């Protein structure tokens, strides 16, 4: 166990520390060396309106996406946990968004949402719900909602699979006992189900938050951060700094700032939602 | 199956995986391995390249050329990664706009010798200029592409319109044909991306006689020429489909193919798409150069784009790589390479453009094909490279383009309702920042 | 009676939600069998007027799709096996032993997810090249395992925690040693968690684009997502090939999941917690 830990730790720690080291340099992305400039990159970023805008967008994107992913995932997990005909097929269908490669899924979504030949606008118009095609991707206001929608679709199965697995090891007796005590479905959920899945939810929510803050391609491929920067979040900002402006040092600094923020979040999260004590 | 047996199986699988992985590290046994990285991922181009490689290897038995096909948007990531690991490919496709950045970092070897061997006089001069920096040539030109405006000939005929030569004529035609929601006047790219930077903004600035920088490399964008160009773009956007703010390269093609726009802007590649997705449009489509703006410096333009072969400095087999380029870019091989995306891939040398072999592709024999071929010639003579917009090579251009300043400019004017003059001033400020740092 | 009504209601809601959720995938499948001319018809066609398998033929003949498939399979299966093995051991260690800095160690694991992968990928590539593992299955497997591991560890830990120690104690009294106790008691009870972690690891590896792009240089080692993305250049999309490729990419996983789900239900039945 210990050697494998070390290998894995090495594979993560080395790139992590290296990137942090980069953030203190002025370094062109193609150059093998850089010039040490201390905290200059950080100073520029903290004073940059664009950086804070990106951060704000990232915060909105992550919190709303995760909330919806968890809600949808839990509700649907409860649904397909029940016995009914066709359950296996429906379960399989619900995890499909997760297993489609992101590139393709987004291509398909953009196609369906297109204003001219997209089927969604076509249906909305035929049903008379809207007079004009909806500006899913071209209106700065709606674009963020669209990106959130697509990301919720892509990743809620992740929550569903894990919560469902946990549901399946809850001892049936607990529910029977509750029923005997006169508890209806809602009370059963609150007093039996929720405490049982708490441990799993803890880690799922945390990981989803961390992931959504750092997710690059599922936003980039949809809008490249536009229109008018409305969907640009920190990973996109980092990418544009490093590969667009060719400023590797500053890109690394942006990523490190996010890293520090997320570490703080994690510490806070642990304090507030301390997981169940180890059984020993 | 009990637990211990299961564990034994897991153990065996891991061992198998390990062995596979180890064996995977073995090389091919050829003496000289040349690694080639290219962005030409079209299946026809892939097939053409592999065929040419096979021919070369047959004539040089000690050489093994390993092509790697990388998506256009990923090439920078791959190059950075290989460079960081000290293991760059031996041959790579670069765009002319990337030359100055790569050379400044000492990444490339000069290619003067290869160009001389193939015949320096034969190349179009502006192509060579676009890859010349600090007195040396850094890429062997391979594929030239142009962009033009495509239009619905049948609708022109029905409405008695003529091919426009000036901005106002084009706008008139667009307005006349704009009949939403059946069909929109024109498709215009406004999403953050290269299509908007190049096609929408940069070309139109040039067509009014404006440039981003002057001959000394100073930001020169706050001029009437540029402000007028942004006003013109704002007008054009009014006659575009509602989703234009999300349009990139893809949508420019698709909107036209879906018969929802009367005009679109693209390179010759759209022909193969029309052929496949809506073949009847081939007969009712025509093309013309971007019309000129009202200013004295206004002219018809085409945005030029050049792909060239470059050899990284730390390449392991530079001599073989250079020899292969010479093989690929001459004779029948060159024609096959270019024909993989017919008419869109245009030769960099004059003799090829007039050769019977090159002009014999079936698509070029169709009426639209012939029209397109003639137009390419015109486009090249009116053509502009971003790095050479003033006639003097501007090494800062790559960074400017990657910063997407022009996309932001267009979006501010069209989506943000910012007055063009203000938006241009903002862009000027951004340009100065970006240029000052590198 | 009430049970039947509940079941029907559940089915209806389930089917309705599933249909909405699955729609883009249906679109993908239908597109993969549409001839070129129907792709951008306006008004948009849902059902193809004419069926064609042209795209599948082209995919299998003109591209290296079968090769990519093999590579992805090797990497994904290995990643899953490796992650699950290490994660089980780690989770067991974290729940059954007590040692200093336990929580911190577990938390540190999560650092992997706090940094944008794009920046991690380049130093990782440098490291792997220096170890002469570039373009080797092992290099990519290790990269994928690194990313799958933290979540797997935490998830399995949550499952192991819910299994009371008394059951293992009972086994120890019966003469089993620590390892056997774990294998016989803990693993069967945590099966759904292991399956879920497995699905997660497999999917992470199967669909990974960034690391496969950066770490697998040579053509013969390319994995599916990278291969399929080649059909999307900045300016063109080979729609037919992409859709056909994606269907073929997703199908095996779907089959795998269904198979695994049956196993899940069995596993639960076999190791049901009874009192």
Q: Give the lowest-confidence range in A134-148, A220-234, B138-152, C157-171.
A: C157-171
Nearest to A138 among B83, B246, B437 (CB): B246
DSSP code for B289:
P
Widest pairwise Cα distance in chain C: 73
State whether A169 and C24 contact (CB < 8 Å). Answer: no
Average pLDDT over residues A97-126: 88
Confidence of residue A31 (pLDDT cuts 50, 70, 90): confident
CATH for B29-144+305-365 is: 3.40.190.10
Contacting residues of B for C134, CB less than 8 Å apart: 85, 87
Which SS3 state, helix, strand or coil, does residue B220 take?
coil
Residue B61 to residues B13, B65, B89, B421, Cα–Cα distance (Å): 38, 11, 20, 63
What is the rounded CA–CA span in Å between residue B179 and residue A26?
Answer: 53
User: Which of C157, C233, C148 is closest to C190 using CA atoms?
Assistant: C157
Tell me whether B258 touches chain C (CB under 8 Å): yes
Return the pLDDT at B208.
96
Identify whether the C-beta of residue A216 lies closer than 8 Å to the C-beta of residue C116: yes
State whether B245 and A135 contact (CB < 8 Å). Answer: yes
Task: Select from A69, A114, A162, A263 the residue whose CB has the most chain C CBs within 10 Å, as the one to mutate to test that interface.
Answer: A162
Q: Is the pLDDT of residue B41 over 70?
A: yes
Phi/psi at B343 (nearest 5 deg)?
A: 70, -35
Q: C6 to chain B, minimum CA–CA distance in Å?
A: 38
Mean residue pLDDT across chain B = 89
Contacting residues of C for A97, CB less than 8 Å apart: 21, 24-25
Of A21-30, B211-220, C181-190, highest mean pLDDT: B211-220
Return the pLDDT at B172.
96
Return the pLDDT at B429.
93
Contacting residues of C for A94, CB less than 8 Å apart: 17-18, 21-22
Average pLDDT over residues B38-51: 90
Average pLDDT over residues B379-403: 91
Q: Is the pLDDT of residue B18 over 60?
A: no
Nearest to A12 among C111, C158, C189 (CB): C111
Which SS3 state, helix, strand or coil, does residue B145 take?
strand
Beta strands in B96-248 (DSSP E): 132-133, 136-137, 140-145, 148-152, 184-186
Residue B351 to residues A214, A247, B97, B121, B142, Cα–Cα distance (Å): 52, 42, 25, 10, 14
What is the rounded CA–CA span in Å between residue C145 and residue C202?
Answer: 10
Contacting residues of B for A227, CB less than 8 Å apart: 190-192, 245-246, 411, 415
With a cut of 50, list the residues of chain C below it in pLDDT: 267-275
Tell me whether B77 touches chain C (CB under 8 Å): yes
DSSP of B170-207: HHHHHHHH-BTTTBEEE----SSSHHIIIIIIIHHHHH
Confidence of residue A280 (pLDDT cuts 50, 70, 90): very low
Q: What is the 3-state secondary structure (H, E, C) of chain A?
A: CHHHHHHHHHHHHHHHHHHHHHCCEECECCCCCCEECCCHHHHHHHCCHHHHHHHHHHHHHHHHHHHHHHHHHHHHHHHHHCCCCCHHHHHHHHHHHHHCCHHHHHHHHHHHHCCCCCHHHHHHHHCCCCCCCCCCCCCHHHHHHHHHHHHHHHHHHHHHHHHHHHHCCCCHHHHHHHHHCCCCHHHHHHHHHHHHHHHHHHHHHHHHHHHHHHCCHHHHHHHCCCCCCCCCCHHHHHHHHHHHCCEHHHHHHHHHHHHHHHHHHHHHHHHHCCCCCCCC
State whether C130 and B279 contact (CB < 8 Å). Answer: no
Closest residue in C to B270 (Cα–Cα): C236
Mean residue pLDDT across chain A = 86
| Residue A15 domain-assigned (yes or no) | no
Tell me whether B273 touches chain C (CB under 8 Å): yes
Q: Give the lowest-confidence range in A151-165, B46-60, C254-268.
A: C254-268
Taking an 8 Å Cβ-Cβ cutoff, which residues of chain B contact chain A?
76-77, 79-80, 83-84, 86, 101-102, 105, 107, 181, 190-193, 241-247, 251, 254-255, 258, 260, 399, 402-404, 407-408, 411-412, 415-416, 434, 437-438
Q: Which of residues 15-74 of A touch C (CB under 8 A)?
A: 15-16, 18-19
Q: Give the lowest-confidence range in B187-191, B413-417, C213-217.
A: C213-217
Contacting residues of A for B83, CB less than 8 Å apart: 30, 32
Q: A127 to chain C, minimum CA–CA distance in Å?
A: 14
Confidence of residue B15 (pLDDT cuts 50, 70, 90): low
User: Which of B25, B314, B35 is closest to C129 using CA atoms?
Assistant: B25
Pick the more confident residue, C158 or B306: B306
The alpha carbons of chain B give a radius of gyration, in whole angstroms, of: 24
State whether C250 and A96 contact (CB < 8 Å). Answer: yes
Q: Is the pLDDT of residue B146 over 90?
A: yes
Pick the more confident residue, C139 or A1: C139
Q: Give the lowest-confidence range in A7-21, B208-222, C79-93.
A: A7-21
Average pLDDT over residues B177-199: 92
Identify whether the C-beta of residue C146 lies closer than 8 Å to the C-beta of residue A12: yes
- Cβ within 8 Å of residue C160, ≥6 positions away: C91, C92, C95, C96, C186, C190, C193
Contacting residues of B for C85, CB less than 8 Å apart: 10, 14
Give the residues across from C175 on adjacent strands.
none
Cα–Cα–Cα angle for A16, C228, B329, nearest 5°?
A: 95
What is the rounded CA–CA span in Å between residue C15 and residue A87?
Answer: 9
Contacting residues of C for B69, CB less than 8 Å apart: 219, 230
- Domain of residue A270, CATH code: 1.10.3720.10
Return the pLDDT at C11.
85
Contacting residues of C for B277, CB less than 8 Å apart: 36-37, 39-40
Identify whether the C-beta of residue B410 lies closer than 8 Å to the C-beta of residue B204: no
**Global pTM value:** 0.88
> Please, which chains are in contact with B (at least 3 CB pairs closer than 8 A)?
A, C
Q: Is the pLDDT of residue B162 over 50?
A: yes
| Residue A233 domain-assigned (yes or no) | yes
| Residue A248 domain-assigned (yes or no) | yes
Pick the more confident residue, C274 or B281: B281
Q: Domain containing A236: what range?
A: 47-279
- Cβ within 8 Å of residue C71, ≥6 positions away: C137, C216, C220, C221, C222, C223, C224
Q: Which of residues 181-240 of B touch C (CB under 8 A)?
A: 194
Tell me whether C89 touches chain B (CB under 8 Å): no
State whether C81 and B14 contact (CB < 8 Å). Answer: yes
Nearest to A114 among B83, B243, B407 (CB): B243
The alpha carbons of chain C give a radius of gyration, in whole angstroms, of: 23
Q: B18 to chain C, minimum CA–CA distance in Å?
A: 7
Q: How many domains does chain A have?
A: 1
Identify whether the C-beta of residue A225 lies closer than 8 Å to the C-beta of residue A231: yes
Give the residues across from B305 on adjacent strands.
B145
Q: Give the lowest-confidence range in A8-12, A177-181, B417-421, C30-34.
A: A8-12
Contacting residues of A for C142, CB less than 8 Å apart: 7-8, 11
**Percentage above 70 pLDDT, chain A:** 96
Which SS3 state, helix, strand or coil, does residue B132 take?
strand
Tell me whether C58 touches chain B (CB under 8 Å): yes
- Sign of the Cα torsion B24, B25, B29, B35 reads positive
> Please, which chains are in contact with A (at least 3 CB pairs closer than 8 A)?
B, C
Average pLDDT over residues A124-145: 87
Pick the more confident residue, B153 or B44: B153
Return the pLDDT at C270.
40
Confidence of residue A62 (pLDDT cuts 50, 70, 90): very high
Q: Is the pLDDT of residue A68 over 80?
A: yes
| Residue A9 domain-assigned (yes or no) | no
Q: Is the pLDDT of residue B25 over 50?
A: no
State whether B415 and A136 contact (CB < 8 Å). Answer: no
> Which CATH number fits the domain B148-303+377-434, given the four candidates 1.10.1040.10, 2.60.40.10, 3.30.830.10, 3.40.190.10?
3.40.190.10
Q: Enumerate the domain spans of chain B.
A: 29-144+305-365, 148-303+377-434
Residue with tokens 């090829």: B352
Return the pLDDT at B225.
95
| Residue A27 domain-assigned (yes or no) | no
User: Which of B377, B368, B375, B430 is closest to B400 using CA atoms?
Assistant: B430
User: Which of A83, A242, A253, A250 is closest to A168 using CA atoms?
Assistant: A83
Contacting residues of A for C274, CB less than 8 Å apart: 171
Which SS3 state, helix, strand or coil, does residue C219 take?
helix
Q: B107 to chain A, minimum CA–CA distance in Å?
A: 8
Tokens standing for residue B198: 């190049």
Fold agreement (B29-144+305-365, B148-303+377-434): yes
State whether C233 and B18 contact (CB < 8 Å). Answer: no
Task: Select from B2, B48, B66, B71 the residue whose CB has the most chain C CBs within 10 Å, as the one to mutate to test that interface.
Answer: B71
State whether C233 and B42 contact (CB < 8 Å). Answer: yes
Q: C4 to chain A, minimum CA–CA distance in Å?
A: 9
Contacting residues of C for A219, CB less than 8 Å apart: none
Q: Is the pLDDT of residue B11 over 70?
A: no
Helices (H) and strands (E) in chain B, counts: 21, 13
Contacting residues of A for C99, CB less than 8 Å apart: none
Pick the more confident residue, B302 or A125: B302
Identify whether the C-beta of residue B308 lies closer than 8 Å to the C-beta of residue B141: yes
Return the pLDDT at B170.
96
User: H helices of B25-63, where?
Assistant: 43-59
Tokens standing for residue C174: 């019966």
What is the rounded CA–CA span in Å between residue A229 and residue A222?
Answer: 13
């Amino acid at each position: 166990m210990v050697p494998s830990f070390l290998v894995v730790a090495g594979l993560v720690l080395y790139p992590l520390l290296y990137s942090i080291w980069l953030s203190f340099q002025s370094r062109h992305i193609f150059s093998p060396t850089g010039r040490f400039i201390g905290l200059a990159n950080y100073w520029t970023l903290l004073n940059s309106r664009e950086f804070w805008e990106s951060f704000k967008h990232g915060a909105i994107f992550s919190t709303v996406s995760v909330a919806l992913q968890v809600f949808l995932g839990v509700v649907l997990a409860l649904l397909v946990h029940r016995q009914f005909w066709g359950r296996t097929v429906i379960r399989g269908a619900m995890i499909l968004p997760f297993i489609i490669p992101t590139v393709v899924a987004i291509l398909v979504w953009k196609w369906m949402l297109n204003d001219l030949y997209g089927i969604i606008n076509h249906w909305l118009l035929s049903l008379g719900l809207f007079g004009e095609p909806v500006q899913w991707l071209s209106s700065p206001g709606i674009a963020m909602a669209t990106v959130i929608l697509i990301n919720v679709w892509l990743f809620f199965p992740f929550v569903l699979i894990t919560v469902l697995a946990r549901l399946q090891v809850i001892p049936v007796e607990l529910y029977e006992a509750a029923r005997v005590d006169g508890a209806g479905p809602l009370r059963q959920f609150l007093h039996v189900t929720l405490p049982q899945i708490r441990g799993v939810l803890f880690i799922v929510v945390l990981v989803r938050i961390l992931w959504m803050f750092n997710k690059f391609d599922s936003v980039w491929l949809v809008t490249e951060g536009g229109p008018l920067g409305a969907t640009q979040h920190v990973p996109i900002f980092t990418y544009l700094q490093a590969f667009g402006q060719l400023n590797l040092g500053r890109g690394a600094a942006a990523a490190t700032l996010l890293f520090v923020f997320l570490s703080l979040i994690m510490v806070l999260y642990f304090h507030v939602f301390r997981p169940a004590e180890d059984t020993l | 199956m009990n637990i211990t047996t299961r564990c034994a199986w897991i153990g065996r699988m891991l061992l198998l995986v390990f062995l596979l992985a180890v064996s995977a590290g073995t090389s091919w046994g050829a003496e000289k391995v040349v690694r080639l990285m290219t962005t030409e991922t079209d299946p026809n181009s892939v097939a053409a390249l592999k065929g040419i490689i096979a021919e070369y290897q047959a004539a040089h038995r000690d050489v093994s050329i390993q092509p790697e096909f990388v998506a256009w948007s990923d090439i920078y990531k791959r190059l950075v990664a290989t460079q960081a690991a000290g293991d760059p490919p031996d041959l790579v496709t670069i765009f002319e706009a990337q030359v100055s950045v790569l050379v400044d970092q000492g990444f490339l070897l000069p290619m003067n010798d290869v160009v001389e061997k193939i015949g320096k006089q034969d190349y179009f001069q502006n192509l060579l200029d676009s890859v010349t920096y600090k007195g040396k040539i850094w890429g062997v030109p391979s594929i030239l592409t142009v962009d033009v405006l495509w239009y619905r000939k049948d609708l022109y005929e029905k409405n008695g319109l003529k091919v426009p030569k000036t901005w106002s004529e084009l706008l008139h035609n667009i307005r006349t044909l704009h009949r939403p929601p059946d069909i929109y006047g024109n498709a215009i790219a406004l999403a953050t991306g290269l299509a908007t930077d190049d096609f929408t903004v940069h070309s139109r600035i040039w067509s009014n006689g404006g440039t981003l920088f002057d001959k000394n490399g100073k930001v020169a964008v706050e001029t009437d020429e540029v402000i007028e160009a942004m006003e013109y773009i704002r007008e054009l956007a009014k006659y575009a489909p509602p989703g234009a703010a999300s349009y990139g390269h893809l949508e420019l093609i698709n909107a036209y193919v879906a018969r929802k726009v009367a005009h679109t802007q693209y390179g010759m590649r759209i022909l193969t798409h029309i052929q496949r997705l809506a073949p009847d449009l081939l007969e009712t489509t025509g093309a013309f150069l971007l019309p000129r703006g009202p200013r004295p410096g206004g002219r018809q333009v085409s945005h030029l784009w050049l792909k060239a072969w470059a050899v990284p400095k730390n390449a392991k087999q530079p001599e073989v790589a250079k020899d292969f380029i010479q093989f690929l870019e001459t004779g029948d091989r060159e024609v096959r390479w270019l024909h993989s995306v017919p008419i869109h891939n245009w030769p960099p040398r004059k003799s090829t453009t007039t050769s019977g072999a090159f002009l014999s592709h079936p698509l070029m024999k169709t009426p639209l094909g012939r029209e397109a071929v003639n137009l390419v010639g015109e486009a090249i003579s009116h053509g502009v490279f971003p790095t050479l917009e003033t006639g003097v090579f501007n090494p800062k251009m790559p960074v400017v383009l990657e910063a997407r300043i022009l996309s932001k400019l267009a979006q501010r004017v069209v989506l943000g309702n910012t007055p063009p003059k203000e938006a241009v001033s903002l862009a000027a400020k951004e340009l100065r920042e970006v240029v000052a740092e590198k | 009676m009430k049970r039947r009504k509940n079941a029907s209601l559940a089915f209806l809601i389930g089917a309705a939600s599933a249909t909405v959720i699955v729609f883009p995938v249906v679109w993908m499948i239908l597109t993969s069998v549409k001839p070129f001319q129907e792709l951008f018809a306006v008004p948009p066609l849902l059902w193809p007027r004419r069926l064609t398998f042209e795209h599948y033929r082209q995919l299998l003949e003109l591209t290296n799709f079968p090769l990519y498939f093999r590579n992805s399979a090797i990497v994904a299966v290995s990643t899953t096996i490796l992650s699950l093995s290490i994660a089980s051991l780690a989770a067991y260690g974290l729940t059954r032993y007590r040692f200093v800095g336990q929580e911190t160690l577990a938390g540190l694991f999560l650092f992997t997810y706090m940094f944008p992968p794009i920046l991690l990928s380049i130093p990782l590539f440098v490291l792997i090249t220096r170890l002469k593992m570039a373009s080797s299955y092992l290099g990519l497997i290790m990269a994928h395992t690194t990313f799958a591991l933290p979540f797997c560890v935490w998830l399995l830990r949550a499952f192991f925690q819910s299994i009371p120690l008394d059951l293992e104690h009972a086994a120890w009294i019966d003469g089993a040693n620590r390892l056997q106790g774990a294998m016989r008691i803990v693993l069967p009870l945590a099966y759904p968690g292991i399956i879920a972690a497995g699905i997660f690891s497999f999917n992470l590896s199967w669909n990974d684009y960034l690391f496969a792009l950066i770490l697998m240089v040579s053509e013969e080692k390319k994995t599916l997502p990278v291969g399929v993305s080649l059909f999307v250049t900045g300016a063109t999309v080979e729609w037919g090939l992409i859709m056909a490729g994606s269907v073929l990419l997703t199908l095996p996983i779907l089959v795998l999941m269904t198979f695994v789900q049956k196993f899940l239900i069995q596993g639960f039945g076999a190791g049901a917690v009874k009192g």
